[in-house]
Amino acid sequence: MSRVRFDFDDDSAVRMDEVGLNYHDGEDILRDVGLTLPKGSFSFLTGPSGAGKSTLLKLMYLALSPSRGDICLFGRSTRLLKRRDLVTLRRRIGVVFQEFRLLDHLSAFENVALPLRVAGHRLATYQNEVEDLLRWVGLSDRIDARPSELSGGEQQRVAIARALINKPDLLIADEPTGNVDPEMSRKILRLFMELNKRFGTTVFIATHDLALVDEFDRPAYEIHLGRLRGRRRGAAA
Amino acid sequence: MTRESPLLPVSDAREAALFFVIGALCFLAALAALTVRGTYVAAAAWGDQIEGEVTVILEDTDMRTAAEVASDIQNLSSVVDARILSRDEIEALLAPSFGPGGLPEGLPVPILIAVQADMSAGDPVPDIERLLRAADLAGDVGAHAGFAGHVRRALSVLRMVGLGAVGLLAATAISVIAFATHAALLARRDIVNVLHLSGAEDRFIAGLFARRFWGLASQAGIGGALAALMVTALIVFSASGRAGVEAELLPRLSLDIWDFLILSSAPVTAGLAARGAARLTVLRALKEMR
């Protein structure tokens, strides 16, 4: 199945212009967010719990619409996109959810293969690819296990593999190291960096682990009271 | 282990409850429809029978003359059968008025000739009256056709009421199935969400759930319809030993093409209702998700 690519001169994977979001009662969740993620960049998003990190990511992976402003993905405004185009865009984005969102009745293999399967690919065309990816995240011996049979860390890695299987142009991860030990956290981050280097995937990671952010020394943004700003290395959130 | 399990879970306790609800509703709807249809068939047969019956009442004559008259009537082209009723048969006819103890001794009882006519070959009443005049016999010819008209009108009112009740029950069943499907699907919103964010198109997700609920509802509908068929058959066959007026008035299970159409419409309607509700619910949920 061929991918639809958009014509664009814009060199950014994500561009947010004065984006705001408020609930129905009018309370602002995000205010005047301006953010540009160049293609092939690797950056972090930090901030205290409830600051709006997950909400910002939801806007980015098209689960929410902004109340104000515009979000451009791969050079194209998402404001007036048709649903069909939204699906096409969504297939270029890999998402690692904070709560994994694995389907309990499917095995690790089937969960990872889900984005390919719903896009109409046949098992024979992706079987090796999925097995390789599961091996890469260290789950070669857990391929047929269901999520309920996996530990939190293993589920996390299945969720990561699912986000990567499409070789996305943009990888968004919401607290991808939240359920794993420090060693595994570093392993996961190195895996993301390898993806970023090898395929030029734009990576954007929300985390509250400031030590990890400082250790990997990449551009970081901080969200506080619904506003986004650049974060200096070593600064407390 | 298979590498392509169904995208939706194979079994679910919530769906078992939905299966039962749909099966029970289809059972009730099919049972009501079969009963109305059986009553319709019985009423039509009863009406036809009444319309073709003629009773000849002879007074002040003997059995030999009556037998000759009955024989002459039998020879008429529009008459299928003509026979003199025995005293026992007359007592049975008059039992509602005189009770089961029989007719009082000494009560003069007229001779009755029961005539079964083929009304399509013509009305035999004028010919019978001519025969009686020719034989110089005092008597009365009672055609049931006029009475049958009243019966038919009453039956058609009953039929309309029955059809209305079946229609109302079917509409209620469809509404309940749609609502129950909607409720069952809300519990599946997590799967809709994951598929949506995995890049599945709306119609793909809606199609998955529509097919799933179509299968579930039509299977439940088949179960309900078969149960209705069995219960109807049980009622009809257990009552088939009864004789007389009771047997005539009982609904009839003809098991013809109409009965099978009624039975098959229950699962198809249930399946379509669940399929439509599933599709609409999923599409609405997806629209809310962006």
- The domain of A177 spans 10-92+169-232
Cα-based distances in Å from B60 to B23, B24, B50, B94, B128: 65, 63, 27, 20, 18
CATH 3.30.70, chain B: domain bounds: 53-143
- Which of B194, B200, B204 is the closest to A103 by Cβ? B194
pLDDT of the residue at A5: 45
Q: Which fold has domain B53-143?
A: Alpha-Beta Plaits (3.30.70)
Across B157-181, average pLDDT: 88
Average pLDDT of chain A, as a whole number = 87
- A102 contacts on B by Cβ (under 8 Å): 194
Q: Give backbone dihedrals phi and psi of A228, rounded to 5 degrees, phi first.
A: -110, 140
Same domain? A159 vs A203: no
Residue scoring higher pLDDT (B34 or A14): A14
Same domain? A84 vs A186: yes
Residues shown for chain A: 237
Same domain? A60 vs A161: no
Average pLDDT of chain B, as a whole number = 84
Which residues lie closer than 8 Å to A163 by C-beta, 6 or more apart?
A94, A95, A96, A171, A173
Angstrom distance (rounded) from CA A88 to CA A161:
20
Lowest-confidence range among A132-146, B33-47, B144-158, B272-286?
B144-158
Please tell me whether residue A93 adopts helix, strand or coil conformation. strand
Residue A59 maps to a domain: yes
Angstrom distance (rounded) from CA B284 to CA B287:
5
Q: To which H or E segment does residue B285 belong?
A: helix B257-289
Of all residues in chain B, what percent carry a pLDDT higher than 70?
92
> How do strand A93-96 and strand B53-58 relate by DSSP bridges?
unpaired
Same domain? A32 vs A135: no
Same domain? A129 vs A79: no
Same domain? A140 vs A66: no
Q: Give backbone dihedrals phi and psi of B231, rounded to 5 degrees, phi first.
A: -65, -45
Same domain? A227 vs A198: yes
Lowest-confidence range among B108-112, B248-252, B265-269?
B248-252
Residue A135 maps to a domain: yes
Cα A145 off chain centre by: 24
Angstrom distance (rounded) from CA A74 to CA A69:
17
Angstrom distance (rounded) from CA A7 to CA A234:
39
The answer to pTM > 0.80 is: no
Last-in-domain residue among A134, A151, A167? A167
- Which of B8, B194, B201 is the closest to A87 by Cβ? B201
Same domain? A70 vs A123: no
Same domain? A186 vs A153: no
Positions in chain A whose pLDDT score sits under 50 = 1-8, 237
Same domain? A159 vs A196: no
Number of domains in chain A: 2
pLDDT in tens, A53-108: 899 999 999 888 899 999 999 988 888 888 888 888 889 999 999 888 999 999 99
Distance from the Cα of B194 to chain A's closest Cα (Å) equals: 7
Whether the CB of B4 is below 8 Å from some CB of chain A: the reply is yes
Residue A174 maps to a domain: yes
pLDDT of residue B93 exceeding 80 = no
Last-in-domain residue among A151, A167, A183? A167
Tokens of B218: 């039509």
Same domain? A86 vs A15: yes
Residue A57 maps to a domain: yes
pLDDT in tens, B210-241: 999 999 999 999 999 999 989 888 877 776 66
Angstrom distance (rounded) from CA A199 to CA A164:
11
Across B245-251, average pLDDT: 57
Residue A18 maps to a domain: yes
Last-in-domain residue among A119, A150, A167? A167
Angstrom distance (rounded) from CA A103 to CA B79:
77
pLDDT of the residue at B240: 67
Whether the CB of B11 is below 8 Å from some CB of chain A: the reply is no
Angstrom distance (rounded) from CA B164 to CA B168:
6
- Whose tokens are 């995208």? That residue is B7
